[in-house]
Amino acid sequence: MRVLQLPLPYCYAFEAPTFPDDRGFFSAPFHAPTFIDNVGYQLSIRQTNLSPTRRGAVRGVHFADVPPGQAKYVYAAHGRLLDVLVDLRVGSPTFSQYVAIELSLESGTAVFLPEGIGHLVIGFTDDAALSYLCSEAYNPPAEHGINPLDPALGLPFHDWCDNYDLGDPDALILSPKDKSAPTLAAAQESRLLPRYDECVAFYNGLRRTSSESSAR
């Protein structure tokens, strides 16, 4: 498995090999020893999600309070999607920046988003589905969003629509909740966003706990 450290601190992509034969192919998108060797702690899985997402549908930008936050390990279970990570951690050297990675069933690529990173998904095919391994169960009071169309995020929806033949950007499908989500500036002013130093302290705590568990 090839592992890439992404430009946003503490974010990773994992590229699992695929093994095809006459029946189809086999792949292991998540491998705990490889994850621990690179991230530094074990991913505690409290919930799994499956999210079919039609072509041109947008989900996000979503994030959760830290602590405990909700780390996500995601990969395409079917079809093709664009997975977008947005750094919402105030004080991060890459605050408000994003990384976009195309995911597909055939690619074997998975993405790890630690606590404090915002998440957005765009469906490229009508049969697209994203699989999530989540570190915490869904907790509605702790879940928040940023309007994905906020110019401060700089998300290039026009370019993505052109490059992936999604048609008119104004025709992208967003939920009413995501359309009415606050801007980045409004969320920061209301102190809704996670702090980078608190997130890093949280990650370090996970490393200490994982190390202590391994030593027993």
**Catalytic option among 41, 132, 196, 203:** 132
DSSP alpha helix (H) spans, the chain: 32-39, 157-163, 176-179, 184-189, 196-215
**Catalytic option among 62, 75, 98, 144:** 62
Q: 129-134 and 72-78 as β-strands: parallel, antiparallel, unpaired?
A: antiparallel
How many Å apart are CA 192 and CA 214, to the nearest integer?
35
Per the CB < 8 A criterion, the answer to whether 63 and 182 are in contact is: no
Query: Is 132 annotated as catalytic?
Result: yes
The two structure tokens encoding residue 63: 């994030």
Q: Nearest Cα to 108, choosing from 45, 171, 25, 50?
A: 25
Query: Is 78 annotated as catalytic?
Result: no
Residue 132 host element (H or E)? strand 129-134
The residues annotated as belonging to the active site are 62, 132
